[in-house]
Structure 1
Amino acid sequence: MTFCVDKRFFTIFSSSVHFVGIGGAGMSGIAKVLVESNVTVTGSDIGNGKFVQQLKALGVRVFSQHDASNVEHASCVVFSSAISKDNPEIVYARKMDIPVLHRSEILSLIARLNFCFAVSGSHGKTITTTILAQALEYSGISPTVINGGVMMSGNTNAYIGKDNVCVVEGDESDGSFLKLKPDIAIITNIDKDHLSNYDGSFYNIQKAFFQFMSNIPKYGFVVACGDDMCTRSLINMSLENNNMVISYGIKSSDLDVKAINIRYNDGSTTFDVAISQGSKYVNFSPEEFARSYVKSHSQSRNMHNLEVTSDSGCYVIKDISFNAFGDFNVLNCLAVLSVFLGLRIPFDKNVFQKYAGVARRCNIVGNYQGSLVIDDYAHHPTEIAAVLRAIKSGLDVDRVIVVIEPHRKTRLKALLNDFVDVLSGVSAVYVTSVFDAWEEVDEDITSMHLVDKLDNCKYVQSVAQLKKELDMNFAEIPHSVSRSSIVFMGAGNSSSWAHSLVDLS
């Protein structure tokens, strides 16, 4: 197999590149970029979800069953970690000496042939990737983007740009992000997740992230959250190796870039940003900073928005607004701002107001019985806690009701007590069956193990049963309670439940 590179992208000269499980978020994004690069793409997937339908609309032939005959004319077969080794298409390809590549290998090829920004971390990757891509576009840079979720602005998870720049989400779940060697990396946080892919060791996860940071070339840099203790330790190790790292956060004191004076207003956020004058890597003179790095599309240079406080040792950018809520979203914005500061790219502080959102990330999808219905992808205790904090601080609600779909038995078993802790303060909890995804394990745990440990918690098997339970719950609410929210959390079928409940209202 040979590659031909022009100024924007590479083309695999082949009769066909075949994706096994093409409907996955990561697989479909790469497939879309190849299709838009004039590569012939086929795929197989037993589902007919949104990504499969989008690919079919682009002219991609998608087989509904996995069969060896699907890859007879393929010159390259791509798979993901969700595909078993005994998949008939993989078995046939290896037997016939057809090159078989993991999706991360194709992604790394795209990254190598562009100036690459990679966003990784246990939580917040998809939103941060979206904000970064949007900010670059707003600044006149047209990147190719391969994301892990649907960006609402274009209703897609991937698209090809006009410049030799790409923004990709690096998947740490299976360690495949180590195939990436980006020019600039963002690490949002490091948490105890996907332990089964790291021999059950959190230390192995931390080692993998340190290796990822070490993949950055000397002319590049890493942007990392200094509030996260695990990330903080890796920042210190990288700095000791003379690597360039820009730290950001909300809580810690010794940060290069820090959000202060955070204000929420029923769904949106305004905050100020303090930039340390003592920072090694974002060190500007006040005049240079005011002249070049805080600007607007208006005629003025926005000098009134820049407060230079020499006594506190920082510059302060006033009143940055973001069209979403939650501390985790403030952190995502800070990561992107830190990239711009590190590159000395002029930053328009109004860019975050243009954020259109990511599907299943605190999306308000409608109302039920006067209560906000929110759809979110959270399926790890840390994510659930962050979403609950965001809703309580960012929305004008009196009660929070959670409908949670546990994701994978291994995660539920390993973090059961953490799930209990984060859900204990919720007004009511309804738990659905465990969504196994592609996991094939024989774990002796079910949703009832979570239900039995929580007060005011019930197991529900259908949207109809959930509706009945909610109606009884609402009938007991005092008239003094003015507004509730019903938050659906999960990475499987929970989103369709949220929309179905709205349809029943």
Structure 2
Amino acid sequence: MKVPVPEVLLPADELGKVHFVGIGGAGLSGIARIMLARGIAVSGSDAKDSRTLEALRALGARCHVGHAADQVQDADTLIVSTAVREDNPEVVEARERGLRILPRSAALESVMQGRRVVAVAGTHGKTTTTSLLTVALQHCGADPSFAIGGELNESGSNAHDGSGDVFVAEADESDGAFLVYSPFGALVTNVEADHLDNWGTEEAYHAAFSEFLDRIVEGGFLVACVDDDGAAALVAEARTKGIDTVAVGESPDADLRAEGLSFRGSTSTFTVIDRGRRLGEVALQIPGRHYVLDALAALGAGLRLGFSFSDLKRGLESFTGTRRRMEHKGEAAGVRVYDSYAHHPNEIRGDLQAARALAGDGRVVVAFQPHLVSRTRIFGAAMGRELGAADEVVVMDVYVAREDPEPGVDGALVASHVPLRPEHVSFVRSWSATPAALVERARPGDLVLTLGAGDVTLVGPEVLELLGEREESADTGRETGLETDAHAD
């Protein structure tokens, strides 16, 4: 549901008792963490229990499984996830009682008030760039507050209320949330049409990023990657508006440039050139060109905030990733399993490039779960074409989320556009059949990668379990064979 943003946004400590509808989600759980750290009374509900709810309970939140009207009886403010329906009993009750109802964007703005906000926006790479900047600043001793759409591997958390004056926030454009914030610094990774279910047209989507420029406070700055046409256009516009702008990328037009990119296994190495001056080399522990560009943007923001290259470099090099971004889930029977959040054609392309570097001499076996009916209708063919970079592809059915199904818009649409021979591509409609379909294709030395923004993330552990059973069965067979030979002697 879409909740209007009030004209006057109160700071968090004036919201009273706060109840989150959909508290287990990546966005709301982070805001709840920050409020709890500030001593604000927090309660919330979600459709199912999770380790996120368990962690929030440990911090002092009262978390319910399921939604019921009586769960908001003592609340002063309701904060609602976009995934919540209009007829949710807690929303209905809050409206009848005249409670203050806020969307996620307004709630995040309420906890950011009084800080120097650095908002990270873009079609792809927001979570990783926000995370990279956060860890880099932590290594500078800054202790920033942060709110991220994923969990840092280092801390296992998606949010923190820091003691410093900087607040690093992932700024989501999908529902226009980033137009609520007033950042001191804005990072834009790229601008490529997405979320057209909300924006309607590509032109409207690009116009929203132009409006985002106008949200930057006086004396603030923009960092954007000019390797991307959409972000490059934004750089040109920002400079005409007199905004202090740092262009980053491999492009000769970049102020802060990455040169000599090298990828080996899970390591990405590059040299940083600042307006013709060599700053030094950075060796990331995450694979892929897209992650190099994310790190370069984070570096540009850190330098603009006044921190040293050497300290920022240490932070970037210590970064081990965020959950669901090329996350290593384990290894069994000689097969490595990774999981990633990629759900847009360009994200699929970037993660498959990274997977290819990680796989070495092995093959790349992919399970892809399309996310949202509208996105699959618009980009399904392009998704399929990008999946052709893998060796074996299993396409799952669409993760419907907040939309209703449409005839003809399913995983088969994506699978039909994968440019591989038919025996190397399959559409598996049943979620429960997917792990076995992957294990059937995987062999020692291969890399299995699960891709998508839905519950495909749960496939990896089941694949590992099945691979383990296969390995155990093979070991038993070998032992039995040896015993037979011994008796024959």
Would you say same fold, with TM above 0.5?
yes
**Contact in 1 for aligned 2:394/2:438 (Cα 8 Å):** no
2:460 maps to 1:498? yes
**Alignment partners' CA distance in 2, 1:374 and 1:164:** 36
State the partner residue of 2:294: 332
Q: Could you tell me whether the CA contact under 8 Å between 2:137 and 2:315 is conserved in 1?
A: no
Q: 2:13 aligns with which of 11, 17, 27?
A: 11
Listed as ranges, the gaps of 5+ residues in structure 2 are: 1-5, 468-489
Residues paired across the two proteins, number: 455
AA in 1 matched with 2:221: F
Q: Residue 295 of structure 2 aligns to which amino acid in structure 1? A: C
* SS of match in other structure, 2:151: strand
CA distance in 1, matches of 2:434, 2:64: 35
Please state whether the residue corresponding to 1:345 is helix, strand or coil. Answer: coil
1:182 partner SS: coil
Secondary structure, in 3 states, of the residue corresponding to 2:13?
A: strand
* Correspondent of 1:409 among 344, 350, 373: 373
Whether the 8 Å contact between 1:269 and 1:321 is mirrored in structure 2 is yes
Cα distance between partner residues in 2 of 1:336 and 1:34: 26
**Structure 2 counterparts to residues 212-227 of structure 1, below 5 A:** 212-227=212-227
Residues 410 and 443 in structure 1, CA contact (< 8 A), matched pair in contact too = no
1:444 Cα deviation after fit: 3.8
Deviation at 1:472, TM superposition (A): 4.3
Q: Once the 2 structures are TM-superposed, how far is the Cα of residue 363 of structure 1 from its aligned partner?
A: 1.3
Identity of aligned residues (%): 31
Answer whether contact 2:435 2:459 (CA < 8 A) is retained.
Answer: no
Is the Cα contact below 8 Å between 1:261 and 1:272 reproduced in 2? yes
1:86 deviates by 2.4
Task: Please state whether the residue corresponding to 2:307 is helix, strand or coil.
Answer: coil
Given the superposition, is the C-alpha separation of residues 94 and 267 from structure 1 closer, same or farther in structure 2, using an over 3 Å criterion? same
- Map 1:106-185; keep pairs closer than 5 Å: 106-185=107-186
- Whether 1:387 and 2:346 are equivalent positions in the alignment is no
Q: Following TM superposition, by how much is the alpha carbon of 1:160 offset from its aligned partner in structure 2, in angstroms?
A: 1.1
Give the Cα separation in 2 of the matches to 1:174 and 1:443. 25
Matched to 2:274, the amino acid is I
Superposed CA deviations along residues 326-358 of structure 1, whole A, max 9, x for unmatched, are: 011101110111112223322222222211310
Alignment of 1:45-84 (within 5 A): 45-84=46-85
* 2:259 is equivalent to residue 260 of structure 1: yes
Code of the residue aligned with 1:324 in structure 2: it is I
TM-score by length of 2: 0.89
Say if 1:377 and 1:490, in contact at 8 Å, map to a contact too. yes
C-alpha distance after superposition, 1:431-489 (max 9, x if no partner): 122111222354541112222333321123557644543454357xxxxxx73211100
* 8 Å CA contact 1:111, 1:182 repeated in 2: no
- The residue that corresponds to 1:283 in the other structure is none
Correspondences of 1:421-436 after superposition (within 5 Å) = 421-436=385-400
**Counterpart in 1 of 2:483?**
none
TM-score normalised according to structure 1 size:
0.86
Conservation of the 8 A alpha-carbon contact between 1:267 and 1:395: no
The change in CA–CA distance for 1:161 and 1:461 in structure 2 (over 3 A counts) is: same
Equivalence for 1:304? none
1:170-209 map, 5 Å: 170-198=171-199, 200-209=200-209
Distance 2:204 2:15 in 1: 38
Take 2:64 and 2:404, find their aligned partners in 1: how far apart are those partners?
23
C-alpha separation between the residues in 1 aligned to 2:376 and 2:193? 12
Q: CA RMSD in A?
A: 2.0
User: 1: distance between equivalents of 2:456 and 2:385?
Assistant: 21
Q: Which residue of 2 is the match for residue 232 of structure 1?
A: 232
Aligned positions of 1:366-381 closer than 5 A:
366-381=330-345
The aligned runs of 1:432-451 (5 Å cut-off) are 432-440=396-404, 442=406, 444-451=408-415
Q: 1:67, CA displacement in angstroms?
A: 1.8
1:219–1:267 distance in 2 versus 1, CA, 3 Å: same
